[in-house]
Amino acid sequence: MSMQAHVTELERRHQALEKELRAEVTRPSSDEVRVTDLKRRKLLLKDEITRLKESPLH
C-alpha cells in the first residue's frame, strides 16, 4: 500500500468514527464511556494522519 493510500484509508476511518460519534452523542442517554473511547480513537487517527503527512518520506 502506498503512503497516500494509507493516509486515505486512515482519513476514511477518521470520518467513520466522526459519524459514529455524532450518532452516539445525539442519542438520548448516550454512553459517556463510548463517547470518550470514540473521541480517543479519533484523536489517535488524526495524530497518525498528521505525522504521516508531515514525514519527510511523504
CB 18 within 8 A of CB 42: yes
Write the DSSP symbol of residue 30.
-
How confident is the model at residue 58, as a pLDDT? 56
**pLDDT at 8 (0 to 100):** 96
For 1-58, how does the pLDDT look when each residue is reduced to its tens digit (9 = 90+)?
A: 798 999 999 999 999 999 999 999 999 999 999 999 999 999 999 999 999 999 877 5
Query: What domain count does the chain have?
Result: 1
Instruction: Find out whether 2 and 48 touch, Cβ atoms under 8 Å.
Output: no
Domain that holds residue 36: 3-54
